[in-house]
Structure 1
Amino acid sequence: MRELLLGLSLGLGAGVAPGALLGLVITASLRGGFRAGLGLACVPLLSDLPVVLLSVTAVGALPGALLRALSVLGGLYVVYLAVSSAREARTALPPEPGVTAPSSARELLRGVAVNMLNPHPWLFWIAVGAPIFATAWDRSPASALAFTGGFYLVLVGSKAALAALIGVGRHRLGARGYRVLLVGSALLLAATGLLLLVRGVTG
């Protein structure tokens, strides 16, 4: 029970924290509605498996240089996505009521790439997640699975809830409000990308 509560609380903090993936969820929800945003919200379920496996089996074995390189590459890619979103926002029009764009495999792949290049999941699992998982596993495998399941349930669920709110309300926006929100999500991406770059360069 303690491990489950710990996973839920850590998942909530990670789910609502500003970051590249959250920015992509917001952008996708504005453009394509809940379905598109939900696809991006579920990205950690697709991209985190190698992160978790490597972190749990080799805690501390990953060199710092690799994490810094991931930070630089991820920062550059996120800044590129931010610039692209900002350019598109200049002429973007809000979707018509009842119109929902299909979820894009390209957007999903973007989300997976961003998450894999983001050092934050790696750092979380190396510094926090893996030690908790190992301790819980020593107690019982069910405790370790409860921690992991609780963490991803809330991590994905909080982003999915945000996607639902935006997906429902996006039709009420005028052209100006729609563009302002798109620019806002682009700024969130840009700030995250620059932060990743600075951390990667300065170590």
Structure 2
Amino acid sequence: MGKYLFMGMVLGLSAGLSPGPLLALVISETIRLGIGAGIRVAMAPLISDIPVLIISFVLVSSLSGSDAVLGIISLAGAGLIMKMGISSIRTTGQMPQAPGRASESLMKGVLVNILSPHPYLFWITVGTPLASKAWQIHPGGAVGFVAGFYLLLVGSKLFLAFVVARTRSFLTGGAYVWTMRVLGFLLCCFAWGLAREGVELLGWL
């Protein structure tokens, strides 16, 4: 169970700290309207990801009887995680550009997240297959994976909101860059594991 909790936490932390529309929105709302607005945006995935999770679990469950399909999904997930890992390793530290939407902070965060393809791609190719595998071993592993992912996904964005409210230098400093590089290395290791599993499901090993 601890393995899947750890994987969920690493994936959540990487997703939470990686530059993207939602992170940019957390930063811009914090600077423009204060820490309260940044907190509301950071909490958006807890609302916007509910339909994403439902769709992903239904889709992957319906395909669970086909090793070939699951193998292809695993390889696609490995590619996605490897791309995230390489992107994290190459991070140089910079302020992401904020998307220009006019709305209340929480609703703005929900819209940005639910209209982004990244949550769907992640949960269909990576999150749901890993959670399903953990469930087969022990239900607590699946719960730990999902809980660890969202704890660090939301928690890291809340942390950044508080940091940005005090100073903007963290996102361009060495601590952030090296944190992202370490996370990138771990993601590449996860990608290798997913790729190997996909190859085995396809009967290539």
TM-score by length of 2: 0.60
Q: Residues 145 and 23 (structure 1 numbering): CA distance in 2 closer, same or farther, change over 3 Å?
A: same
State how far apart, in whole Å, the 2-side matches of 1:113 and 1:57 are: 23
- Name the residue aligned to 2:11: 10
- Name the residue aligned to 2:36: 35
State how far apart, in whole Å, the 1-side matches of 2:101 and 2:55 are: 33
Contact 1:33/1:166 (<8 A) preserved: no
For residue 83 of structure 1, report the CA deviation from its aligned partner.
Answer: 5.0
Contact 2:101/2:108 (<8 A) preserved: no
Question: Pairwise CA RMSD of aligned residues?
Answer: 2.2
For residue 84 of structure 1, report the CA deviation from its aligned partner.
Answer: 6.3
State how far apart, in whole Å, the 2-side matches of 1:82 and 1:150 are: 28
For residue 60 of structure 1, report the CA deviation from its aligned partner.
Answer: 9.1
Pairing 1:137–2:135 present: yes
Tell me the amino acid that sits aligned with residue 53 of structure 1.
I
Q: Report the number of matched residues.
A: 133
- Name the residue aligned to 1:158: 156
Name the SS for the 1:118 alignment partner.
Answer: coil
Counterparts of 1:17-96 in structure 2, within 5 Å, are 17-59=18-60, 82=99
- Structure 1: 5+ residue stretches without partners: 62-80, 86-104, 171-203
- Write out the 4+ residue segments of structure 1 that deviate beyond 6 Å after TM superposition: none
State how far apart, in whole Å, the 2-side matches of 1:157 and 1:83 are: 24
Contact 1:33/1:168 (<8 A) preserved: no
State how far apart, in whole Å, the 2-side matches of 1:138 and 1:156 are: 27
Q: Residues 156 and 84 (structure 1 numbering): CA distance in 2 closer, same or farther, change over 3 Å?
A: closer
Aligned mate of 1:168, from 157, 166, 169 = 166
Tell me the amino acid that sits aligned with residue 24 of structure 2.
G
- Name the residue aligned to 2:124: 126
- Structure 2: 5+ residue stretches without partners: 63-97, 169-205
Name the SS for the 2:60 alignment partner.
Answer: coil
Name the SS for the 1:58 alignment partner.
Answer: helix
Contact 1:60/1:126 (<8 A) preserved: no
1:86-109 deviation line (CA, Å, top 9, x unaligned): xxxxxxxxxxxxxxxxxxx71211
State how far apart, in whole Å, the 2-side matches of 1:115 and 1:31 are: 20
- Name the residue aligned to 1:116: 114
- Name the residue aligned to 1:193: none
Q: Residues 83 and 49 (structure 1 numbering): CA distance in 2 closer, same or farther, change over 3 Å?
A: closer
Contact 2:26/2:41 (<8 A) preserved: yes
- Name the residue aligned to 2:95: none
State how far apart, in whole Å, the 2-side matches of 1:11 and 1:51 are: 16
- Name the residue aligned to 1:176: none
State how far apart, in whole Å, the 2-side matches of 1:43 and 1:151 are: 14
State how far apart, in whole Å, the 2-side matches of 1:121 and 1:50 are: 10
State how far apart, in whole Å, the 2-side matches of 1:84 and 1:127 are: 29
TM-score by length of 1: 0.61
Contact 1:21/1:111 (<8 A) preserved: yes
For residue 131 of structure 1, report the CA deviation from its aligned partner.
Answer: 0.3
